[in-house]
């Protein structure tokens, strides 16, 4: 029998077979990569389109709030305020210290500072007039390639000192108006701006607080009543702080989109390298889903609003992508600053209402006014503010428990980065020394009956 012949494969045929197999494998790999890239690109475009829609929604919002006095003018208060700030010079350290001393302690102004206030009176008036417009929104560019521009917050603080010093130098009544305008200025810079604006707003409230308390003891009854109404408006209509978290989330998503682009990355990386890391970047979008929901995080929902955010922060901190955790690392600090600012404005509203009622009754009410109003409670614990009157009756103290949520009996000593409690002190001028009371009492004495029967029916003197 003859053996079956076995075909012999030559080297060239063997190479062709190997090459064809490699080509087949490469084709499969190309198809897999192409399929992966196609699916990835589809997901990227879907997320990108959703982000564009969210940005458009964000830009359409604006903060409408009631006017402090008179008829509100139509216009963007934040835009006009920033325009006015551009015409105000930055202060030197010497000027800043002199104005701060005048605002905080009532120290006399030097000739140079008095001349400076007179020279800058027109732009100061323009800045304050901006707070009387009907709505506010800081327009921050969000498109890729645009630099994030924010107001010059040091310039804002200098302008506040100028406006407060100018009001105080003019008189007690004008001083109260200036204090309300500066608080509103801080509020107007919050909508649409980064969360730092809420911290600046809190600092503005803190700067004017001692001045307002001092001017309230010297102002006319009409000015005091008006200040009480204005600060009630300021306290019960706070700016939308949660919108700043929405902005932070949108900025992070814009950055994620830029990193997830396959071409034109500008960082020298290959498209394959960018494709390989793209899934993690696209998955990170889920941490910032529906950023508009943070608009519901408003000051009237403190302290629950802070707890809501801390729960969110705990979830984001578990991400393996550093960008996710870093994007939210400072939010709780800014929110605590905002809570301090809200506490301070509410304290001032309660104090002014109490002084007004004391003047009307010609005696101190049994407790501070509006303590139990929901919108004027302590934002740190949702409870009424703490208070006391000095033993000699010369001072009313009101305070919030502060960040540690503990009543430290109105201690204003600093611990870590903030005072233990948020405290406001109001001087209580004796009733008989108030200029507004003297004419009423004189008229009452002139109309009072005389003779022995008068003493039997007269009322006890007010406290």
Report the distance separating Cα 110 and Cα 121, nearest Å. 17
Q: 142 and 250 in contact (C-beta within 8 Å)?
A: yes
If we measure between CA atoms, which residue out of 76, 58, 40 comes closest to residue 251? Answer: 58
For residue 210, the Cα-to-chain-centroid distance in whole angstroms is 20
Q: 165 and 112 in contact (C-beta within 8 Å)?
A: no
Report the distance separating Cα 362 and Cα 288, nearest Å. 56
Q: Where exactly are the structural domains of the chain? A: 63-244+335-384
If we measure between CA atoms, which residue out of 334, 355, 298, 302 comes closest to residue 65? Answer: 298
The confidence score (pLDDT) of residue 235 equals 97
Q: 379 and 303 in contact (C-beta within 8 Å)?
A: yes
What is the CB neighbour count within 10 angstroms for residue 409?
12
Q: 400 and 422 in contact (C-beta within 8 Å)?
A: yes
The confidence score (pLDDT) of residue 457 equals 33
- Which ranges constitute the DSSP H helices of 217-316? 221-236, 242-260, 271-284, 304-316
Report the distance separating Cα 378 and Cα 405, nearest Å. 10
Which residues have C-beta within 8 Å of that of residue 284, sequence separation ≥ 6? 256, 319, 321, 323, 324
Q: What is the pLDDT of residues 263-282, one digit of tens each?
A: 665 556 666 677 777 888 88
Look up residue 263 and give its DSSP letter: S
User: In 128-144, which positions are buried (b, 16+ CB within 10 angstroms) versus exposed (e)?
Assistant: bebbbbbbbbbebebee
- Which ranges constitute the DSSP H helices of 317-361? 322-327, 331-361
Q: Is the pLDDT of residue 129 over 90?
A: yes
Report the distance separating Cα 47 and Cα 246, nearest Å. 17
Which residues have C-beta within 8 Å of that of residue 145, sequence separation ≥ 6? none
Q: 295 and 269 in contact (C-beta within 8 Å)?
A: no
Q: What is the pLDDT of residues 411-420, one digit of tens each?
A: 877 665 556 8
Q: Is the pLDDT of residue 343 over 90?
A: yes
Strand partners for 415? 418
Report the distance separating Cα 143 and Cα 308, nearest Å. 29
Report the distance separating Cα 368 and Cα 398, nearest Å. 9
Look up residue 385 and give its DSSP letter: P
Q: Is the pLDDT of residue 355 over 90?
A: yes
Angle subtended at Cα 84 by Cα 79 and Cα 89, rounded to the nearest 5 degrees = 135
* Burial (CB count <10 Å: 0-12, 13-18, 19+), residue 437: middle
If we measure between CA atoms, which residue out of 340, 301, 300, 335 comes closest to residue 424? Answer: 340
The confidence score (pLDDT) of residue 306 equals 86
Which residues have C-beta within 8 Å of that of residue 209, sequence separation ≥ 6? 344, 348, 424
Strand partners for 135? 64, 76
If we measure between CA atoms, which residue out of 170, 195, 168 comes closest to residue 182? Answer: 168
Name the pTM for this structure: 0.84
Average pLDDT over residues 302-321: 87
Q: What is the pLDDT of residues 140-172, one digit of tens each?
A: 777 654 455 566 788 899 999 999 999 999 999
Q: Is the pLDDT of residue 111 over 90?
A: yes
Q: For the chain, how big is the Rg over CA atoms in Å? A: 32
Q: What is the pLDDT of residues 16-45, one digit of tens each?
A: 767 766 665 666 555 555 554 566 788 888
Q: 250 and 199 in contact (C-beta within 8 Å)?
A: no
Q: 138 and 152 in contact (C-beta within 8 Å)?
A: no
Look at 238 and 328; give whichever has higher pLDDT: 238
Q: Which of 83-92, 273-282, 360-369 has the lowest mean pLDDT?
A: 273-282
The confidence score (pLDDT) of residue 207 equals 95
């Amino acid at each position: 029998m003859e053996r079956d012949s076995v075909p012999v494969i030559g080297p060239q045929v063997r190479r062709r077979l190997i090459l064809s197999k490699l080509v087949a494998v490469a084709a499969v790999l190309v198809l897999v990569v192409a399929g992966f890239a196609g699916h990835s690109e589809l997901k990227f475009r879907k997320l990108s389109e959703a982000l564009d829609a969210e940005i458009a929604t964000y830009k359409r919002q604006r903060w409408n709030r009631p006017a402090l006095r008179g008829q509100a003018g139509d216009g963007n208060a934040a835009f006009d305020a920033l325009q006015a700030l551009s015409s105000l010079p930055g202060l030197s350290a010497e000027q800043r210290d002199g104005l701060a001393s005048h605002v905080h302690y009532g120290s006399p102004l030097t000739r140079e500072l008095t001349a400076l206030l007179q020279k800058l009176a027109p732009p100061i008036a323009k800045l304050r007039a901006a707070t009387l417009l009907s709505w506010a929104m800081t327009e921050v560019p969000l498109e890729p390639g645009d630099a994030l521009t924010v107001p010059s917050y040091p310039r804002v603080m200098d302008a506040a000192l100028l406006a407060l010093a100018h009001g105080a130098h003019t008189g007690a009544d004008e001083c109260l108006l200036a204090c309300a305008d500066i608080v509103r200025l801080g509020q107007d810079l919050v909508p649409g701006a980064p969360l730092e604006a809420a911290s600046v707003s809190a600092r503005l409230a803190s700067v004017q607080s001692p001045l307002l308390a001092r001017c309230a003891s010297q102002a006319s009854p009409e000015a005091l009543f008006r200040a009480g109404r204005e600060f009630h408006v300021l306290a019960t209509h706070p700016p939308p702080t949660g919108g700043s978290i929405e902005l932070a989330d949108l900025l992070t998503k814009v950055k994620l989109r830029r990193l997830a682009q396959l071409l034109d990355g500008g960082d020298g990386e290959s498209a394959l390298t960018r494709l390989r890391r793209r899934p993690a970047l696209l998955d990170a979008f889920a941490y910032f889903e529906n950023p508009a929901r943070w608009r519901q995080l408003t000051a009237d929902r403190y302290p629950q609003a802070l707890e809501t955010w801390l729960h969110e922060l705990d979830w984001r901190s578990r991400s393996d992508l550093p960008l996710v955790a870093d994007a939210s690392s400072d939010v709780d600090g800014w929110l605590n600053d905002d809570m301090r600012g809200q506490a301070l404005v509410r304290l001032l509203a309660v104090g002014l209402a109490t002084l007004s009622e004391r003047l009307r009754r010609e005696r101190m009410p049994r407790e501070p006014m509006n303590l139990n109003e929901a919108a004027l409670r302590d934002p740190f614990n949702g409870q009424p503010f703490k208070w006391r009157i000095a033993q000699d009756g010369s001072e009313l103290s009101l305070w919030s428990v502060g960040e540690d949520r503990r009543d430290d009996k109105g201690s204003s000593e600093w611990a870590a980065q903030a005072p233990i409690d948020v405290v406001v002190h109001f001087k209580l001028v004796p009733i008989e020394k108030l200029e507004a009371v003297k004419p009423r009492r004189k008229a009452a004495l002139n109309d009072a009956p005389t003779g022995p029967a008068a003493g039997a029916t007269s009322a006890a003197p007010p406290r």
